[in-house]
Each structure stands twice: as C-alpha cells, then as structure tokens.
Amino acid sequence: MKANTLEEAVALTKKFTSRPSNEDLLKLYGLYKQATEGDNETERPGGFDFKAAAKYNAWLNFKGLSKEEAANQYLELVNKLAESHL
C-alpha cells in the first residue's frame, strides 16, 4: 500500500501495526505541520514541557521549506515507514 496524497499518508500512519521511533515520529510531525501550516511562528513552549518542546523543535527544523516540498517529504517518509510498520 502506498500513499499518494497527504490525506492518504495520514490515514496510512493510523494503520501502522508497530510504532515508529521517536525520531521518525517527530520528523513526521514536523513535516506535517510545515506542509499544512508553513513556518512555525508559534511561541516556544515552557522549559519543563519536554514533549511540546520536542514537537516545536521538530517543526522548526523545516523552517523555510515550502508546503509542497514538506508534503512530498512527508509522503516519502510515510511510504518508507509503511514498509516496516504495516
């Protein structure tokens, strides 16, 4: 099974039978946010909310990437992960 659109890719991740690594999950999150919202202009979360800080930084890693390119990279990553997590 291969996803061809952002929506199909999101649906495909919900069918994964095993959990990708935290690194891959953060990359997926960052690419998805960049693809759907563009550059991260939100306020940095507080110092002790480590999960929110990790997500914030994951999104920030893709600053300047176009929404289209972020969507393409998201699709590539989901399709690659699907090979070992479906």
Predicted local confidence at residue 43, as pLDDT: 94
Domains of the chain in start order, with CATH, are 6-85 (1.20.80.10)
The pLDDT of residue 23 is above 90: yes
pTM of the prediction?
0.94
Predicted local confidence at residue 73, as pLDDT: 98
Q: How far apart (Å, rounded) are the C-alpha atoms in residues 12 and 78?
A: 8
Q: For the CA atoms of 76, 81, 84, 85, what is the dihedral angle to 10 degrees? A: -140
- The single-letter DSSP state of residue 44 is P
Q: How far apart (Å, rounded) are the C-alpha atoms in residues 56 and 54?
A: 5
Tens of pLDDT, residues 10-19: 999 999 999 9
Is residue 35 within 8 A of residue 84, CB to CB? The reply is: no
Predicted local confidence at residue 1, as pLDDT: 78
Predicted local confidence at residue 47, as pLDDT: 77
Tens of pLDDT, residues 33-44: 999 999 999 999
